[in-house]
Structure 1
Amino acid sequence: MNHAARHTTFIKQQAAALGFDHCGIAQAVQLEDDARRLERWLQQGMHGGMQYMENYFDLRIDPRKLVPGAQSVITLLLNYYPETLQRPDAPQIAKYAYGADYHEVIRARLNQLLAKMQTEIGHIAGRGFIDSAPVLERSWAQRSGLGWIGKNGNIIHKQAGSFFFIATLIVDIPLQYDGPVANHCGNCTRCLDACPTGALAAPGVVDGSRCISYLTIELKDLLIPESFAGQMQNWAFGCDICQDVCPWNRFARPHQQEAFKPLPVILNLSTREWEDMSEEAFRKLFKHSAIKRSKHRGLQRNLQFLKLKG
């Protein structure tokens, strides 16, 4: 077994030991096709108020500019599908935010993986990313054979669905590379048909400015545009509609991650209790939760908007 093969085997074994569900590896190259798609997406204003998406374009499409000398992009998936769901009559929270903030959990594991690699292999220059830097995670997941980009814009794993966090580790050593898998969406349009705001502009193209996740989290305006009144389907933080209706998620299985165990308040609070929550209580309850991104005022804005009827 050559060095690249041995190192690849070691990395995938360590990734599994750290709790990652899937690991795929691709060669670090410039993503030319993705660059054209990203440019069109930005030109059409589908990023809404997410102006940061316009920054660091060159870094987004070429990992070698993020990590000088980069040769390999390691992509890792971590399941977050919960065993227990919220009460259906309460304001809905996206499943990824049920437990601890995934940024904190996964960043620590990426650091551990890189440290293990450096101990076993030797000096490695590398950087780990989890939804916090200009990295096209879904493109790398697809190139790494971990799934295909579905019509809802999510990575879909044929045996496990799409309820996964995607983490990326870019390193400057050669490894054995996995090949992409075929797209298995076929003629299915369930996600496109189910999106209440028309955010799925075309198969695989998400108009972020219309997405409920954007409207309830990323949009920082004091008010959500009234044109979306009556279309939010009780989602107060994020949205899972396009994943919930996807046939491939019949293969989703509950995660085994203690850190992602649902916070009791998320499962049990009534609409009135959400609405009556003080800012102090919000900060205390969601100190280590992704929900803190919306801030108390943002969540209250969302709850009030849900009362509007279109």
Structure 2
Amino acid sequence: MNLSKTRHTQLIKAKARELGFDFCGVAKADFLEEEAPRLETWLKNGMHGQMNYMANHFDKRLDPRLLVDDAKSVVTMLLNYYPAQRLPEGESDYKLSKYAYGEDYHFVIKDKLRELMTYVRAEIGEVGGRAFVDSAPVMDKAWAKRAGLGWVGKHTNLINREIGSFFFIAELILDLDLEPDGPITDYCGTCTRCIDACPTDAIVDPYVVDGSKCISYFTIELKESIPEEVRGQFDNWVFGCDICQDVCPWNRFAKPHKTPAFTPHPDLETLNQRDWEEITADIFQTIFRRSAVKRTKLAGLKRNVSFCKPNRP
């Protein structure tokens, strides 16, 4: 047994916990052989829609050693964002994906990763590496699965047996040899609730999501008008969509997060349907200044609200 490798792994995992991450696992930095043909087919079938960035850096997505010289380990962390109190989701309420309730997770997690990387270098020495949080060609769910943090469900989100699927995924890719964790079993079984519940039929097969049919794609990624053929199918989701996760039985284990930054802006909790429909630049800036909702910009949010508006009685 390599004692230094074991000790380094334990140090990193303990520090990740101290920084507030809920889970931390390690995988060997290697070529993602299983994911390669799936990604190629998914792209060839145009399931990325207008997310052209998904077709870029194909080789780097599949091999972390092309992102970090001499990469040996991928350290993956999960950070819970399930809210203690959900925003109203009645028939006449406009809905936001729960990950966007509070401050943009990129800001929150990058600070934690920066601190973790500083700690690694202080405790272990000259370690080369990079931190990633949903902003580079890294297949985060594949690495989380390899690190034993969960399995990829039929809705293609990672599911953890202890807390469900409402969490962010982040990585450190390091040139440090660490003790890898093994993958765990898929516990979806015969359940098809996520497939049955998707109003736009975006889950075209178990474990295959056509991104170009997903409500999250239409409300966030799509920059032009939303196609008329999906009008009436959004169930008032105006930024993202949680339907496939909300119906997943494993999310009965979801626990409220412990990250104050993910608490909704107080004004967000009091917005009524008229406020949404008449939202101004000032209100948008006040409530969503540091929110992931800024991705869609005010014009995009107004487009989404307008598209959903006829759905309501």
- TM-score if structure 2 supplies the norm length? 0.97
Offset from partner CA, 1:256-289 (integer Å, 9 cap, x none): 1111111223222011101111123212321100
Q: Displacement of 1:309 after TM fit? A: 4.8
Question: Tell me, what secondary structure is at the counterpart of 2:267?
Answer: helix
2:169 corresponds to? 166
1:96 corresponds to? 99
Matched residues, number: 309
Q: Displacement of 1:62 after TM fit? A: 0.2
Long gaps (5+) in structure 2 = none
1:79 aligns with 2:80: yes
For residues 151 and 43 of structure 2, what CA distance do their matches in structure 1 show? Answer: 22
Question: Tell me, what secondary structure is at the counterpart of 1:73?
Answer: strand
Offset from partner CA, 1:59-99 (integer Å, 9 cap, x none): 10000000010000000000000011112232100000000
1:261 corresponds to? 263
For residues 239 and 267 of structure 2, what CA distance do their matches in structure 1 show? Answer: 14
Offset from partner CA, 1:123-163 (integer Å, 9 cap, x none): 01110100100000000000000000000110000111000
From 243, 246, 253, the equivalent of 1:244 is 246
For residues 54 and 281 of structure 2, what CA distance do their matches in structure 1 show? Answer: 30
1:19 corresponds to? 20
For residues 174 and 270 of structure 1, what CA distance do their matches in structure 2 show? Answer: 53
1:122 corresponds to? 125
1:143 corresponds to? 146
1:230 aligns with 2:232: yes
User: Mapping of 1:30-69 within 5 angstroms?
Assistant: 30-69=31-70
Identity among equivalent positions (%) equals 55
- TM-score if structure 1 supplies the norm length? 0.98
Long gaps (5+) in structure 1 = none
From 283, 292, 295, the equivalent of 1:293 is 295
For residues 226 and 308 of structure 1, what CA distance do their matches in structure 2 show? Answer: 12
Contact 1:160 1:253 in 2 (8 A): yes
User: Mapping of 1:270-309 within 5 angstroms?
Assistant: 270-309=272-311
Structure 1 runs of 4+ aligned residues shifted over 4 Å read none
1:194 aligns with 2:197: yes
Query: C-alpha root-mean-square deviation of aligned residues, in Å?
Result: 1.1
For residues 61 and 310 of structure 2, what CA distance do their matches in structure 1 show? Answer: 38
Contact 2:284 2:298 in 1 (8 A): yes
Code of the aligned partner of 1:21: D
Q: Displacement of 1:119 after TM fit? A: 0.1
